[in-house]
Structure 1
């Protein structure tokens, strides 16, 4: 928490965390959406140590930080507990989402808050199953029984947890959702199915239901809702609407208890009478349908799901399979669908290991090592977003490895018997509680080895990883030392990355650049949408929207190029990167293409600053030409 105090001061002076609707960041600045900008102390923020300046643009309140903005952003989220709203959007933007996007967003919002504890309890249950299968304990021993209770308790009462998260997602009171769910898993429900059968509904069909009790004369179809998913989510959705309706008409003086009373007294019977049975039948049909499709060819299903799983993750589409897996666990006791995807993380780190062994780029190697370690435990985002996806080919190779692992799990009839951990902690989830180790378990190990090996070999041989030759391998060591010394004693030339008109930074409307706070240099009004490398060096930063890039030269100068003003708001439209972060580029190499005409139509200037952010470490000599072509000398750095 190096930036903890700075984060606290920023939050205090934007009007407090209560005034923040959302906050994101780009290359250099925090971008707040404030409920009331008048509450912000702009002048105080501008004069604060650690803050470059403050700007207001595009409905955003922008606090310019500089190169270390990701660290400050993380501190702001932590000290302000803003994680839940960091990516919030207003209702108007929500309305523009497609139905599919809304569904994914809903599923993510319901399941994501409890995934950590679900994985933890699943690991406990898996460990209990493992020591039982290995004969280390007896099924009747207190050790096994307590471990099994610790692992199974959450899943058995899963509706209560989902009642909280679903109501919160739908905008209702979470504890009302929990109260409805608690009724669904109440222990006395079991006794209500032992009495006399008064009638049988839907006799002779798949939905045949014996009736033991009635509610106000209406037959109640009794079912087990332990571990269920769909009933409580649907009930919470309806309950959130009912609650909001009552809030509008109930007097404020009694609203605190009358609204929950009316909502619960209506929703519990409604859930038992209609929502529960219908959603349970729907869930059973959904589970049967997915298994039917899977069993048409488990190998093909595994190849497809394993091969495309990482693509699903990138676009958030994997959330669509999560409720199916939970539903299968609840209705059938196991799930073969997600089972085909859980070894994909090892294919990903197989590709990363190949990069570690082959690359000589120190920055890429260091990033890959940390990504490899996290990937062992199933956390592959650092590997995907930081290493393989930017390099493109290694990501494709990891997908091929993932397909192999998924196909093997399909071929060996692998099934998940619980929602377990990730990475190396997932293996016990392939053990059926109370049973010995079988091919489902051994198949998962084979899938790990095969997926890892395929991705590793393909990446190493065909991943396009460049092995930069070291200076000493091509010249005599003494000569090399002399050449390095001579290079450092000379001025390092920074050439124009663009065709266009040169402008002084002071002419830019953006105060962060015009004041020189982000660095010294010049700006160019480009006439062509091609950005070339102004120096040779390592791409130290490439923002995901491809509108800004940082290059560290061999002498240690940090060059920042920012295409246009506020172009981060275009979210990557009209920008195409031809390089990746961590890649070594040569002077004059094509970096980014951008569409000047469309960017201007969006109301964004394309004036592009080229600045040296650590200019205090170097002397800077600007050239005086007014018009330049890409490759013309722009300024020189004294690297002595």
Structure 2
């Protein structure tokens, strides 16, 4: 079966989420189309999950449709275009549907109040942080792969005239990442984006080397993305404060000037030093954790990552990964966390073998397994392991075993890292880096994946299905099996 075009996928999704009138916001991350809906009871979830292009759905603060990397970036603009067309064609009948819109809004309010128990301050804060960094992931991936390619050419002694150009291309974004973080931070917290970027740019400006704070000379880039985030957040609050008392006639002159000046001074004489200390502590803690408690740390990190993915909170780790990449050239945490996906794949394979008479779930696994091998775990999580219950726990066991494998080698001095964030599974191989060369690093990572597959499979096969093979009534392809 051929893959449907992005426009066909968007056209198929729109009526199943209640039509254009039910959509209030559209966004996307690496794998998911994120929709704000007025009334989620209008969603035909079974039909939605049966669409060939849909890998799964997540009902969270936004309604999230998992389409996979690449596909979501093509479908989203087509979906937005459909919304624009529908809005234009229905404008003349808006007054006739006002009552229905009010009822839909009331239904959305009721559903929002029901979900309010899960909207804890911590979860909301983590999601906002994720919203700052998720848009940066494509650039991180692209630059990371280019950096890896450049490193291979240098080690092989090939194309010496080209490698400086590759290094410049790969490093340019990372040298200015603080500016992008500042821009996105101001956007997320309601400030003027360009002012957030302007204040964050102070951190990477070479002239800060002439500034002395706390008896120390500052270094360009000191504080990294953490300093940029806090500086832009401060700028947002300064900007709001200015708008409470600056006359409108002077606002265009006074507000941006005071925002950049006050926030910039605090950044230079406080935030850069503090954020620099925190960033150094993160790097030191990661090194100590893996060099002294490697296997145990890997077991814990690999075993707990799937629940974070399930809750959508795994993106909150991006600042830590980015900080490690800035400091060391790679993040040693991502390969360990990627083992959770290996455990998930192993668990899904065991379910496929054990439930050989359940054609529906076997079809779901066949559809979702390629994405799972490439590190996109949501289809297997929401389509297989979570609905069945125990396989989710045994998948975590596989992830813990794979993480312990990589962590064990860390205690031996073999560090496995990734030069960028985003991919995992097999897709992480082009981004691997370490202190022993690409060959040993790739071998250790492959060993971790194999360990995760085997333990996830064995644990699920032996314990994940309660010792029996349940019979199920066949359902439409793509539907979530019953718990």
TM (normalized to structure 2)? 0.73
1:137 maps to: 158
2:182 to 155, 163, 183: 163
In structure 2, how many angstroms separate the alpha carbons of the residues matched to 1:123 and 1:383?
27
1:369 to 361, 366, 370: 366
Note closer, same or farther for the CA distance 1:351–1:25 as it changes in structure 2 (3 Å cut).
farther
1:81 maps to: none
1:41 to 86, 89, 94: 94
Answer yes or no: is 1:186 the counterpart of 2:239.
Answer: no
1:150 to 169, 185, 189: 169
1:455 maps to: 456
In structure 2, how many angstroms separate the alpha carbons of the residues matched to 1:200 and 1:318?
35
1:415 Cα shift? Answer: 3.1
1:244 maps to: 240
Answer yes or no: is 1:399 the counterpart of 2:396.
Answer: yes
2:270 maps to: 274
In structure 2, how many angstroms separate the alpha carbons of the residues matched to 1:273 and 1:316?
36
Cα distance per residue 1:115-135 (max 9 Å; x no partner) = 2332232223233334444x2
Alignment: residue pair count: 416
Answer yes or no: is 1:324 the counterpart of 2:377.
Answer: no
In structure 1, how many angstroms separate the alpha carbons of the residues matched to 2:360 and 2:148?
38
1:311 Cα shift? Answer: 1.2
In structure 2, how many angstroms separate the alpha carbons of the residues matched to 1:152 and 1:307?
33
1:360 to 336, 357, 377: 357
1:265 maps to: 261
1:263 Cα shift? Answer: 0.9
1:607 maps to: none
Note closer, same or farther for the CA distance 1:272–1:227 as it changes in structure 2 (3 Å cut).
closer
2:37 maps to: 23
In structure 2, how many angstroms separate the alpha carbons of the residues matched to 1:157 and 1:367?
42
Tell me, which stretches of 5 or more residues in structure 2 are unaligned? 1-6, 27-34, 45-58, 63-91
In structure 1, how many angstroms separate the alpha carbons of the residues matched to 2:441 and 2:223?
23
Residues 402 and 451 in structure 2, CA contact (< 8 A), matched pair in contact too: yes
In structure 2, how many angstroms separate the alpha carbons of the residues matched to 1:388 and 1:224?
47
Q: Provide the secondary structure at the position in 2 that maps to 1:56.
A: helix
Q: How does 1:606-621 map to 2 (within 5 A)?
A: none
1:284 Cα shift? Answer: 1.6
Residues 354 and 457 in structure 1, CA contact (< 8 A), matched pair in contact too: yes
Instruction: Compare the two structures and name the one with the higher strand fraction.
Output: 1
Answer yes or no: is 1:425 the counterpart of 2:447.
Answer: no
In structure 2, how many angstroms separate the alpha carbons of the residues matched to 1:58 and 1:426?
43
Note closer, same or farther for the CA distance 1:406–1:29 as it changes in structure 2 (3 Å cut).
closer
In structure 2, how many angstroms separate the alpha carbons of the residues matched to 1:376 and 1:167?
36
Tell me, which stretches of 5 or more residues in structure 1 are unaligned? 33-38, 47-52, 63-86, 194-198, 203-208, 210-220, 470-535, 543-549, 551-580, 584-590, 592-640
In structure 2, how many angstroms separate the alpha carbons of the residues matched to 1:109 and 1:423?
23
Cα distance per residue 1:352-374 (max 9 Å; x no partner) = 23333443322212211121011
- RCO higher in structure (CA 8 A, sep ≥6): 2
In structure 1, how many angstroms separate the alpha carbons of the residues matched to 2:319 and 2:23?
39
Answer yes or no: is 1:59 the counterpart of 2:106.
Answer: yes
In structure 1, how many angstroms separate the alpha carbons of the residues matched to 2:95 and 2:461?
52
1:350 Cα shift? Answer: 2.1
Note closer, same or farther for the CA distance 1:42–1:383 as it changes in structure 2 (3 Å cut).
farther
In structure 2, how many angstroms separate the alpha carbons of the residues matched to 1:460 and 1:251?
70
Note closer, same or farther for the CA distance 1:15–1:283 as it changes in structure 2 (3 Å cut).
closer
Q: Provide the secondary structure at the position in 1 that maps to 2:103.
A: strand
Residues 401 and 450 in structure 1, CA contact (< 8 A), matched pair in contact too: yes
Residues 365 and 380 in structure 2, CA contact (< 8 A), matched pair in contact too: yes
Cα distance per residue 1:397-427 (max 9 Å; x no partner) = 2211111110111111233252243322212
In structure 1, how many angstroms separate the alpha carbons of the residues matched to 2:174 and 2:93?
45
1:113 Cα shift? Answer: 2.1
Residues 239 and 259 in structure 2, CA contact (< 8 A), matched pair in contact too: yes
In structure 2, how many angstroms separate the alpha carbons of the residues matched to 1:451 and 1:148?
34
In structure 1, how many angstroms separate the alpha carbons of the residues matched to 2:341 and 2:24?
40
1:441 maps to: 442
1:411 maps to: 408
1:286 Cα shift? Answer: 3.5
Residues 104 and 316 in structure 1, CA contact (< 8 A), matched pair in contact too: no
Note closer, same or farther for the CA distance 1:200–1:187 as it changes in structure 2 (3 Å cut).
closer
Residues 401 and 451 in structure 2, CA contact (< 8 A), matched pair in contact too: yes
Note closer, same or farther for the CA distance 1:226–1:285 as it changes in structure 2 (3 Å cut).
closer
In structure 1, how many angstroms separate the alpha carbons of the residues matched to 2:323 and 2:24?
42
Instruction: Compare the two structures and name the one with the higher helix fraction.
Output: 2
